[in-house]
Structures are given as C-alpha cells and as structure tokens.
Amino acid sequence: MHADFQELLSLRAGEPLDAEVAQHIANCPRCGLELGRLQRLADDLSQLPQFEPPQHSWARIQEQMAQPLARRSRASWIYASAAAAAVVVVAFGVLWTSTIDRDQAPAGASGSTVAQTASRDQSVGRLVRRSQELEALLNSLPQRPAIEQAGTSATIDEIQSSIQMLDAQLSNGLQIDQTETERMWSTRVQLLNSLVYVRYGEVARYARPINTLDTGAI
Amino acid sequence: MPGLHHIEVSPDVLERARNGDSDAQAYLYRTLSRPVYTLIRRFVVRPAIAEELLQDVFVEVLRNLSGYSGAGPFIGWVRSIAVNKALMYLRSPWHRGLSWLGADGVLSVHEEAASATPDPFDPDLERALASLPSISRAVVWLHDVEEMTHAEIAKLFGRTISFSKSQLARAHTELRDRLESPSGGLACMPISRNC
C-alpha cells in the first residue's frame, strides 16, 4: 500500500514516521516520485513573486500614527461590527427564548394569523432550545484528540463552518421573516445533530468509553 | 523569496524605531511591507481589505515596539500580528456573510492571478493557489513558504496539530488535482470560498 499525503508530507518535513512506511517510500518509485513532486511544489511556492503594497500605504500608516485613536480603519470597524453582531445574536436569542417561554399563549389572541405566528414562535423557540441542548451536549464531550483521521477533522471543520455561516445569517435576525428564521434554526439543529454524531464517533475511537453519554434524544 | 523568515532586522534599527526615529520606522516598513502584504494576500483575497490589514499591522507594530520584549525573533512577532489580523477578518461574520452572498467572490481566479507581480510568474500555480479555500491556502503558505511547523501553525489558529496536518494534506491534494488537470480546472472558479 502506498504512502498517503500526510505521510509523505511528514517525511518531507523531516518529522518522525513509521519505519515501515519510510522504508516503503524509499523503495517505491511511485511514492518517491510523489515525494519529489511535493518538494518541488514547496520550492515553486517559495519562488512565487511577492505582492507589491499600494504606494500610498505608508502615508496612510503615518496618518494613523499621527492621529492616535482618531481614525479606525475599515478592517477595525469590521472586527468591531462582528463583535457587536455576536453580542446582538446572543442577546436576541436569550430575549427571544425567554419571551417565548413566558408568552406561550398571549392573552386575548385570536384569528389564524396570530395563531400561525404564535405557532411559529413556539417552533422557533423549540429549535433554539434544542440548539442549546445540543451545544451543551457537545461541550460535555471530551476534548478533541491531538491526533485524528484527516477525514474526521475535515468533516468537523466543514460542519462548524456551516454553523458559523448560519450564525452570521442569524445575526441579521431582525431583518429575516419568521419562516426563513424557522428554516435556518432547523438547519442549525440538523447540523448540530450531525456534529454530535461525528464527535461521538471520534470520542468513541480515540478516548475512553463514554457509556453514560445520552444520545437517545438526538 | 517571499517568506518573512529570511529577513533580519538589526537591534540598532529596532531601538531607533522604538524611540520614534521616523527614518528607522520607514526603513522597517520598506523592509517588511512586501512580505507582510504578500502573507496577508495569501489569507485575504480582496486587495482593498488586504491593504487595510497591512496598515493595521504596521500601526500595531510601530505603536507596540516599546512593548516588544525581544524574547523571540522580531520577525516572528510581526508575522504573528499579521496572521492574527488576517484570521480575525476571515472569522468575522462580515467576511462569512460576504462569502455566503457571493459578494466576496466577485474576483475571478484570473483577476486574482493578474493582480500578482507579473515577473517571474507561474500563472498555473498562482491560480491553483488562489482557488484554494482561505484556510487551506493560509496553512500551505505558512508551512511550505514561511517554514512554520504544524505546532506553530496550530497555535496561531488555536487548533490542533491534526488540524494543521489535515489542512496541509487537503491543500496539496487540491493543488495537485488542479495543476494536473488539462485546463487547470479553474475556469470561472470563484476564488473566495468559505473557510
């Protein structure tokens, strides 16, 4: 069996490698060829030209240095906006959940529109609570192993990225209608479910048995 | 050599820059701006954002020179500031929202490649690299060009060594596929993808 990419990359970087694998690579023309290609690729990357910064950059840096804290760059505003958005998401979620919990059946509510809205609110409320339960379950799992399968790691990364993407969309929650909000929370719960399954499998493979873990409700 | 790690800055220049000598500060910018900007461009596709980040990096470096302990290599300190700034941008809901809407992917691979310094120039490799997801591209750059170890990369990203290794393997798999496909497999491919 030929060496995989990670093994070849480890050998290229001079990292410790299983002796049997190292011996195979040394004697296998195909693996040797692949190793040489990886080395050439690193050399080629190092030879790529540098990007030239815009000519006015130094002048703008000097301007910012001369006006401490008077002007923030757009990138800084992006960080600040992101942080503010995150706070809004958390606050909105907490407020929303508590409101739904408190007002399960608004006094005097009548008519199909009101009933549908209330029903949708309850549905979203359930999804928000389910998200919180799944996140609590994920937090209760042991830490991820230092070494794991590349496929597992990539899958977890993909799911986490998708969840973060949804969170970014939900940060604009006040501008999204209830139907779309419900759909997004539903997707978030599904993604968290998938993440729990993958993480549970990872834990079962690499860590101590966790017989007490309750996944029956997933 | 596009990597930062080959650059050395004398303690004398650092001391003068720390004391507010504008010539020394300008020298630091001239010496470091191209490799720092190149590093940022390997994380962040959009030139306008990369320029803003470059300015942020230098403002932070110059303002905090007095706080630089000298415990580690100066270049490593600058590099960690640049990487952290770029990662903060990539992790921001702003960036992810733009990616989701496609607004951050308006540049084509060809436009991206064309914005690189033209000579010497390997358009196929440049395009293949530009087509990788942001994080994979950053990891392969830090490992193969900046010669950082997986442990160092993992620390910068706040992740495990396995994360760094899997991202590097993924990046090399995709680079190989794209470089070996007859057309490069890159026609009309957006360069900005979810990380």
Condensed to tens digits (0 to 9), the pLDDT of residues B49-94 reads: 899 999 999 999 998 888 776 667 888 889 989 998 998 888 766 5
Confidence (pLDDT) at A74: 54
Confidence (pLDDT) at A171: 61
The tokens 């990670």 sit on which residue?
A: A6
Burial B26-64 (b: 16+ CB within 10 A, else e): ebbbeebbbbbbbbbbbbbbbbebbbbbbbbbbbebbee
Distance from the Cα of B109 to chain A's closest Cα (Å) equals 16
With beta carbons under 8 A apart, name residues in chain B contacting A57.
Answer: 33, 37, 51, 54-55, 58
Q: Name the range with the highest mean pLDDT among A18-27, A78-87, B34-43, B98-107.
A: B34-43
Distance from the Cα of B184 to chain A's closest Cα (Å) equals 15
Distance from the Cα of A107 to chain B's closest Cα (Å) equals 38
Cα–Cα distance measured from residue B30 to residue A100, given in angstroms and rounded to the nearest whole number:
58
Cβ distance of A148 and B62 shorter than 8 Å: no
Q: Is the pLDDT at B23 greater than 60, yes or no?
A: yes
pTM of the model: 0.58
Cα–Cα distance measured from residue B111 to residue A16, given in angstroms and rounded to the nearest whole number:
41
Residue to test with chain B: of A30, A45, A184, most B Cβ within 10 A:
A45
Radius of gyration of chain A (CA): 26
Give mean pLDDT, residues B109-129: 60
Q: Chain B: residue nearest A52 by CA? A: B34
With beta carbons under 8 A apart, name residues in chain B contacting A41.
Answer: 125, 144, 172, 175-176
Nearest to A146 among B55, B85, B162 (CB): B162
Confidence (pLDDT) at A148: 62
Question: Between these two residues, A151 and B161, which has the higher pLDDT value?
Answer: B161
The tokens 């011996």 sit on which residue?
A: A23
SS3 B19: coil
Question: Which range is least confidently modeled, A34-48, A112-126, B156-170?
Answer: A112-126
Radius of gyration of chain B (CA): 17
User: How far, rounded to the nearest angstrom, does the alpha carbon of residue B148 sit from its chain's CA centroid?
Assistant: 13
Cα–Cα distance measured from residue A160 to residue B195, given in angstroms and rounded to the nearest whole number:
10
Confidence category of residue A127, pLDDT binned at 50, 70, 90? confident
Confidence (pLDDT) at B121: 61
Q: CA nearest B109: which of B122, B132, B125, B127?
A: B127
Q: Is the pLDDT at B104 greater than 50, yes or no?
A: no
> What is the rounded average pLDDT for all residues in chain A?
71
Confidence category of residue A24, pLDDT binned at 50, 70, 90? confident
Confidence category of residue B171, pLDDT binned at 50, 70, 90? very high
* Neighbouring C-beta atoms of residue A193, cutoff 10 Å: 16
Rounding to the nearest 10 degrees, give the CA dihedral for residues B104, B110, B114, B118. 140
Cα–Cα distance measured from residue B37 to residue B55, given in angstroms and rounded to the nearest whole number:
9
Number of inter-chain CB pairs under 8 A, A vs B: 170
Q: Is A52 left (phi over 0), alpha (psi -120 to 50) or beta?
A: beta
Tens-place pLDDT, residues B131-163: 888 889 999 999 999 989 999 899 888 889 999
Distance from the Cα of B189 to chain A's closest Cα (Å) equals 20
Distance from the Cα of B11 to chain A's closest Cα (Å) equals 22
Nearest to A61 among B55, B97, B119 (CB): B55
Cα–Cα distance measured from residue A177 to residue A195, given in angstroms and rounded to the nearest whole number:
27
Confidence (pLDDT) at A201: 76
Q: What is the DSSP letter of A49?
A: P
Confidence category of residue B22, pLDDT binned at 50, 70, 90? very high
With beta carbons under 8 A apart, name residues in chain A contacting B52.
Answer: 73-75
Bridge partners, B81 (sequence order)? none
Q: What is the DSSP letter of B79?
A: H
Confidence category of residue A59, pLDDT binned at 50, 70, 90? very high
Rounding to the nearest 10 degrees, give the CA dihedral for residues B165, B168, B173, B176. -140
Contacts of A48 (CB under 8 A, 6+ apart): B2, B116, B122, B125, B126, B129, B145
Q: Chain B: residue nearest A10 by CA? A: B165
H/E segment holding residue B63: helix B47-63
> What is the rounded average pLDDT for all residues in chain B?
78
